[in-house]
Amino acid sequence: MAEIAALEAVRQCTSELDKYVYLRQLQDSSPPLFYKLLMNNAQELLPVVYTPTVGQACQEYSKLPIHIHGLVIRPEDKGNILQKLKDWGGVQSIRVIVVTDGERILGLGDLGFNGMGISEGKILLYTVMAGVNPAVCMPVCLDVGTNNEEYLADPTYKGLRQKRLRGQEYDDLVDEFMTAVRDLGDHTLLQFEDFGNSNAFRLLDKYTPLQCSFNDDIQGTACITLAGLLSALRVTGQALKDQTILFLGAGEAGTGIGQLIAKAIQAETDLTEKAALERCYYLDSKGLVCASRTDLQHHKQPFAHDVPFQSNLLDAVKELKPTMLVGVSTQPGAFTKEVVEAMAEFNERPIVFPLSNPTSKAECTYEEAFTWTNGKVVFASGSPFDSLKAPDGKIYFPAQANNAYISFTIRFQVCIYCKETFC
């Protein structure tokens, strides 16, 4: 009866953010009921505690009437981070940590301390999707300041009121934190979440050999997108090696996907790494990533192929004739009618994946992609879209390619460091 009453209370809330606040307060007052409610109603409630509602919740986090469930680490904690981890966990062994520094939250940018909401939302997936005991799950925010002027000027902002920590001081703080995680002495999985491009790649490269860890934006997004692509190919009947994939957005998520696709192609063919990478093309804020450009960051350089430069997405689509279009740009509406119609001109079943989160940042909607391709699109989005009733009366349900599904698989993976099954 309590679960039914709680679910009805959620449904009576007048906005998605109100639902979020209600559930956060329920998590404080009755944790067993909160988790039971989530696990038994995941399809309905995950969009509330996770994407897309968590985006708005993070933006307004400091103003919301909620208690912090995670651990906040600031520069003033240097020298005492291990003790803070132990105090937070108590006698319980910590098995999963989701950590962010709040610099690139979803498609919303630098939210600073307010990024704690994303760690708290992501950590729930380990329980809801994989059945991990919430008592062993720790959300963490490294509050190292923010460059968001709106927050710095906002008296209600609860984070550190200074520009972002950079350079050696930042690295020293992260290093002490990572050392403390290892010194816990437990089999702990660490998930890097929503770090900015300037730190995400290098921190992953530095700590992967030392700690059971992964970057969700780089590797989690890559895994679920590759899975979505392979599923789409069941519809089109084509082989992975024959695809041409064009990405709008060349950040950590986009290039991470391309790297994994290339590895998958190599695994089933005798193609070289260079040839496999040439199946993936990128358009960033300055135009098509190609060999003639001299302004490319290191993570874009493997995808700088010898093709003519194009300044916009429509021209790139017409030039490259991709079989798959992936949006990781956080530019709502970037997949225009002309772009999607061009995809349909040379693809019998065009594959269109607007993956940017939250829903307000998606490059196009399901209804738009469906309408502009006369129902031929093979579609998946990062955030959920409603089902669509077509003129023929059929109901079509859009697929969702979201990292939430990665949490389920992680539980059953064998750690390469201690050979234990994560559970």
Numbered residues of the known binding site for (S)-malate: 104, 357, 402
Quickly count: other Cβ atoms within 10 Å of residue 312's Cβ.
Answer: 11
Task: Tell me the C-alpha distance between 275 and 103, whole Å.
Answer: 34
Task: Examine the residue annotation and report whether 122 is marked as an active-site residue of this protein.
Answer: yes
Task: Examine the residue annotation and report whether 158 is marked as an active-site residue of this protein.
Answer: no
Buried residues in 45-64 as b, exposed as e (16+ CB within 10 A): bbbbbbbbbbbbbbbebbeb
Query: Helix 31-40 and helix 2-12: axis angle, to 10°?
Result: 70
**Half-sphere exposure (CA, 13 Å, Cβ side) for 313?**
25
Joined together, the tokens standing for residue 410 give 């992680």
- HEC profile of 314-374: HHHHHHHCCCEEEECCCCCCCCCHHHHHHHHHCCCCCEEEECCCCHHHCCCCHHHHHHHCC
User: CA 248 → CA 193, 229, 286, distances in Å?
Assistant: 21, 16, 11
Task: Name the active-site residue from 19, 122, 300, 361.
Answer: 122
Task: Tell me the C-alpha distance between 234 and 246, whole Å.
Answer: 19
φ, ψ at 103 (rounded to 5°): -80, -30
Task: Tell me the C-alpha distance between 247 and 125, whole Å.
Answer: 27
Annotated binding-site residue numbers: 104, 193-194, 217, 357, 402
Helix (H) or strand (E) holding 287, with range, is strand 287-288
Task: Name the active-site residue from 19, 20, 50, 126.
Answer: 50
Kindly tell me the sign of the dihedral angle through the C-alpha atoms of 373, 378, 384, 386: positive
Task: Tell me the C-alpha distance between 223 and 406, whole Å.
Answer: 7
Among all residues, which ones are annotated catalytic? 50, 122
